[in-house]
């Protein structure tokens, strides 16, 4: 193979075919004014889904939400937090995914088994409701929430709509989830691609770098032609992103770099450092204790089980903790 691509730093090198499980790879396609990320989830998504033993359609939905959350949350600063929360009237009435920068991922879904068995295959499980993205930039940053209505369109389209309405960054998201056969049975995999059109990035670059490259003479001095060129660039980027197949997003033998090369080798793609993600909850003994302290003595009394202890199971990671109610009465 002589396929080469450009790292953000350093000289061009051969496309890596190294596995990309549980990582997100940022990239840019500068000739098309596009930035994006590819996420591939292996063991992390499998552990999260297996722990909850979700029925397959629910696991599929949670897997999509995990991939989407990493795509949206992984650009946050070191102590930032991103939460995806969906509430609806469908078979899955609540879905929460947390991404704690730089790499921690957790999720849970609440579903109605009776509604689920009545749902036809391929039907949206969330129904009507809303999808909320909450961004917390950490110590020095702000906190904001964006909301988009759920009307049976699914997570992928809802994310595109969210960007169209709230941030006005043209964005396309692709998500895929599948079970692959392994030596130990089946395991879940998820993948996603996000492309965003950010013409200002290259406008700024053009101001600094006036070298015309191989652009047709005069193009950069004609504002109208420039606009058209940018629109064409976004159309091309969207068309290329649309050619990716679901199985490519979840194929464990296809590296993220190889995937990007397949999509964007003609305009040319630049890759940044991949970032790992892992299945890790942020719950702790101290955190649960603090939560219990927030209740009144009589409220805590109602939580005491037959064994005289207050038992708390984390709905994300299923960790069970038992507390002596006397510890809170000092």
| List of residues contacting Zn ion (CB under 5 A) | 281, 283, 314, 316-317
CB of 211 vs Zn ion, minimal distance in Å:
53
Question: What would the DSSP string read from start to end of 151-169?
Answer: ES-HHHHHHHHHIIIII--
CB of 294 vs Zn ion, minimal distance in Å:
18
For residue 216, give the DSSP letter: P
- Between residues 133 and 316, which has the closer beta carbon with respect to Zn ion? 316
Residue 264, H or E segment: helix 256-264
Each as own residue / partner, the long-range contacts of residues 294-302 (CB below 8 Å, 24 or more positions apart, any chain) are: 297/328, 297/329, 300/325, 300/328, 301/325
CB of 287 vs Zn ion, minimal distance in Å:
9
Q: At what angle do helices 56-73 and 154-162 cross, to 10 degrees?
A: 20
Nearest alpha-carbon partner for 15 in 269, 237, 213, 319 = 269
Q: What is the phi/psi pair of residue 46, to 5°?
A: -65, -45
Q: Give the residue carrying structure tokens 């849970």.
A: 108
CB of 48 vs Zn ion, minimal distance in Å:
11
CB 280 within 8 A of CB 103: yes
- Between residues 105 and 241, which has the closer beta carbon with respect to Zn ion? 105
| C-alpha to C-alpha distance for 15 and 262, rounded to whole angstroms | 10
CB of 137 vs Zn ion, minimal distance in Å:
23
- Between residues 49 and 271, which has the closer beta carbon with respect to Zn ion? 49
Q: What is the phi/psi pair of residue 320, to 5°?
A: -100, 135
| C-alpha to C-alpha distance for 29 and 14, rounded to whole angstroms | 17
CB of 83 vs Zn ion, minimal distance in Å:
14
- Between residues 12 and 313, which has the closer beta carbon with respect to Zn ion? 313
- Between residues 98 and 251, which has the closer beta carbon with respect to Zn ion? 98
The encoded tokens of residue 123 equal: 């039907």
CB of 321 vs Zn ion, minimal distance in Å:
9
Local structure of 222: helix, strand or coil: coil
| C-alpha to C-alpha distance for 42 and 302, rounded to whole angstroms | 41
- Between residues 104 and 238, which has the closer beta carbon with respect to Zn ion? 104
- Between residues 18 and 313, which has the closer beta carbon with respect to Zn ion? 313
């Amino acid at each position: 193979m002589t396929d080469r691509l450009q790292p953000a730093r350093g000289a061009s090198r051969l496309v890596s075919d190294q596995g990309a499980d549980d990582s997100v790879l940022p990239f840019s396609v500068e000739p098309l004014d596009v930035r994006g990320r590819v996420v591939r989830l292996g063991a992390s998504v499998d552990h999260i889904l297996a722990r909850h033993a979700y029925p397959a359609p629910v696991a599929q939905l949670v897997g999509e939400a995990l991939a989407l959350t990493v795509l949206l949350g992984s650009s946050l600063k070191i102590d930032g937090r991103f939460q995806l929360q969906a509430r609806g009237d469908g078979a899955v009435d609540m879905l929460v995914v947390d991404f704690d920068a730089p790499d921690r991922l957790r999720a849970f879904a609440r579903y109605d088994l009776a509604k689920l068995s009545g749902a036809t295959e391929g039907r949206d499980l969330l129904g009507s409701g809303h999808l909320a993205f909450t961004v917390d930039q950490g110590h020095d940053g702000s906190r904001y929430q964006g909301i988009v209505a759920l009307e049976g369109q699914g997570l992928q389209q809802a994310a595109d709509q969210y960007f169209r309405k709230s941030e006005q960054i043209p964005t396309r998201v692709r998500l895929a989830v599948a079970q692959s056969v392994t030596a130990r049975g089946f395991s879940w995999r998820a993948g996603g691609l996000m492309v965003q059109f950010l013409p200002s990035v290259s406008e700024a670059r053009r101001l600094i770098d006036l070298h015309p490259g191989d652009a047709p003479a005069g193009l950069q001095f004609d504002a109208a032609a420039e606009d058209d060129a940018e629109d064409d660039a976004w159309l091309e980027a969207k068309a290329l992103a649309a050619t990716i197949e679901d199985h490519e997003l979840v194929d464990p033998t296809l590296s993220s770099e190889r995937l990007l090369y397949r999509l964007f080798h003609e305009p040319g793609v630049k890759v940044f450092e991949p970032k790992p993600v892992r299945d890790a909850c942020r719950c702790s003994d101290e955190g649960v204790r603090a939560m219990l302290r927030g209740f009144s003595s009589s409220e805590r009394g109602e939580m005491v089980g037959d064994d005289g202890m207050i038992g708390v199971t984390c709905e994300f990671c299923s960790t069970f903790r038992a507390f002596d109610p006397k510890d809170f009465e000092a």
